[in-house]
Chain A
């Protein structure tokens, strides 16, 4: 999971559970997401998974 890139579909901010869509197993799934750093990621931002917290939580950072 780590290193996958995805798209924010629910606003991610410190203390707030956001949501990202990630490509997994040939499909896309929604994962709960937290920011890896203290930044706010608005809907539509490209993000990269830096940490995976099974089963459905990821920590993401801005992709570029």
Chain B
């Protein structure tokens, strides 16, 4: 029993669900549900007046089958191509191709307007209507615009389009998303001629530029060719130079061995020379230290010693000299005294002799012969010795008569003395004769030294 109820309840639920599913309608995001019929007179927020139908956007609603009808109004975009033949404000016939994108407005007013005008119409009908509408407006716009404005001033074009379309679009509940003019053709060639001066100028400029560039390119090419030739020449010169350098280097390299050898030998010689110099220097230093310095020392020693000795000798000599001087002085004094004494003695003696001579002279004067005899007697020994002197030279005298002979010789000799004596007496006589004539005076000689 319970199961029966349960089953009935389940069936009822299923039936209710099916009924709900049949009644409930949901609007897609890109569509609006237009519900008319029993009780579908609800007013919207925006429109206070009764619409006469209900608009549902973006949600679900219950639709009573049989009492209410529901239509779907698509809100998505539609595009309509436009091909219009029209005349510009200057009277130039134009073929304009464009496209317009439009949609039903999302607000309830637009949806209501569009629903009243386009609901249940096919797309072709709608598009035909829109095309005619836009074509008409476009003709109006183009008729009030110059070709230049259309070409250059898009702002003016869009402003004109908006101003022309605004009212109609509101009436239809449509929103123009985009209106594009794709192509503007003219049969008279106005647009083409419009651009011709500029095109010609551009072409001329292009040709000028091309010619300039061509000239520049040619110049550059020629310059490049010249540079190339110069580079080739330079390269050849450089190659020749390098070849010469290579040859030079090769010849140098071939001479490098002997040269290096000679250089090495030269270095050896230099080193040896240096060594010899160093050796000589060493020897010099050694000699200096072993010979020169000691010799110097020795010389210094000797010199110092000699100096000392000389000084000592000088001192001694000076002392000697002093002594000699003193002694000499003393001796001189003594000699002087002695001399004086002797002089006195001599004087006295001389005086005495003079007195003696005077006396003799007086005696001589009175008794000449006696004096001479006296004189001879006094000098006789000397005479005899002088006579004997003649025999001194005889080395070996041979006496032939023996003792008689000797006596004779002596007698002869003494006789010779006797003859001398007679000679002397004769001399004295002559002297005495003279003395009588001249009256000679014999006075003692005074002593000059006294």
A interface list, Cβ under 8 A from B: 10-11, 16-19, 24-25, 27, 29-30, 32, 54-57
- B105 partner residues in chain A, CB cutoff 8 A: 29, 55-56
Q: State whether A30 and B109 are in contact (beta carbons under 8 Å apart), knowing that A11-B155, A56-B170 are contacts in the complex.
A: no
In the complex, how many angstroms separate the beta carbon of A32 from the nearest chain B beta carbon?
5
Q: Report Cα–Cα, A18/B159, bound state, in Å.
A: 7
- Give the contacting residue for B163; candidates A16, A54, A55; CB below 8 A: A16
Contact flags (1/0) for B90-111 with A, using CB distance below 8 Å?
A: 0000000000000001111110
B interface list, Cβ under 8 A from A: 46-47, 105-110, 113, 155, 158-159, 162-163, 166, 169-170, 173, 175, 177
- A10 partner residues in chain B, CB cutoff 8 A: 158-159, 162
- A54 partner residues in chain B, CB cutoff 8 A: 46-47, 107, 109
In the complex, how many angstroms separate the beta carbon of A49 from the nearest chain B beta carbon?
14
Majority-rule SS of B interface residues: helix
A-B contact pairs, 5 of them (CB 8 A): A24-B107, A32-B166, A54-B107, A55-B173, A56-B107
Known A11-B159, A29-B105, A32-B170; 9 more pairs at CB < 8 Å: A10-B159, A11-B155, A16-B159, A17-B162, A29-B175, A32-B166, A54-B109, A55-B46, A56-B110
Top 7 A-B pairs ranked by shortest CB distance?
Answer: A55-B109, A17-B163, A17-B166, A54-B109, A55-B110, A32-B166, A17-B162
Nearest A residue to B170 via CB reads A56
Q: Report Cα–Cα, A32/B110, bound state, in Å.
A: 13
Q: Report Cα–Cα, A55/B106, bound state, in Å.
A: 10
- A25 partner residues in chain B, CB cutoff 8 A: 106
- A55 partner residues in chain B, CB cutoff 8 A: 46, 105, 107-110, 113, 170, 173
Nearest B residue to A54 via CB reads B109
In the complex, how many angstroms separate the beta carbon of A62 from the nearest chain B beta carbon?
19
- B155 partner residues in chain A, CB cutoff 8 A: 11
- B166 partner residues in chain A, CB cutoff 8 A: 17, 32, 57
- B113 partner residues in chain A, CB cutoff 8 A: 55
- A27 partner residues in chain B, CB cutoff 8 A: 106
Nearest B residue to A9 via CB reads B158
Nearest B residue to A11 via CB reads B159
Q: Report Cα–Cα, A11/B159, bound state, in Å.
A: 7
Q: Report Cα–Cα, A18/B161, bound state, in Å.
A: 11
Q: Report Cα–Cα, A32/B166, bound state, in Å.
A: 7
* A56–B159 touching, CB < 8 Å: no
- A30 partner residues in chain B, CB cutoff 8 A: 175, 177
- A57 partner residues in chain B, CB cutoff 8 A: 166, 170
- A16 partner residues in chain B, CB cutoff 8 A: 159, 163
Task: Tell which of A10, A27, A55 has the most Cβ of chain B within 10 Å.
Answer: A55
- A56 partner residues in chain B, CB cutoff 8 A: 105, 107, 109-110, 169-170, 175
* A32–B162 touching, CB < 8 Å: yes
* A19–B162 touching, CB < 8 Å: yes
Q: Report Cα–Cα, A26/B7, bound state, in Å.
A: 47
Nearest A residue to B112 via CB reads A55
Nearest B residue to A13 via CB reads B159
Nearest A residue to B114 via CB reads A55
Q: Report Cα–Cα, A57/B169, bound state, in Å.
A: 11
Q: Report Cα–Cα, A11/B108, bound state, in Å.
A: 27
- B107 partner residues in chain A, CB cutoff 8 A: 24, 54-56
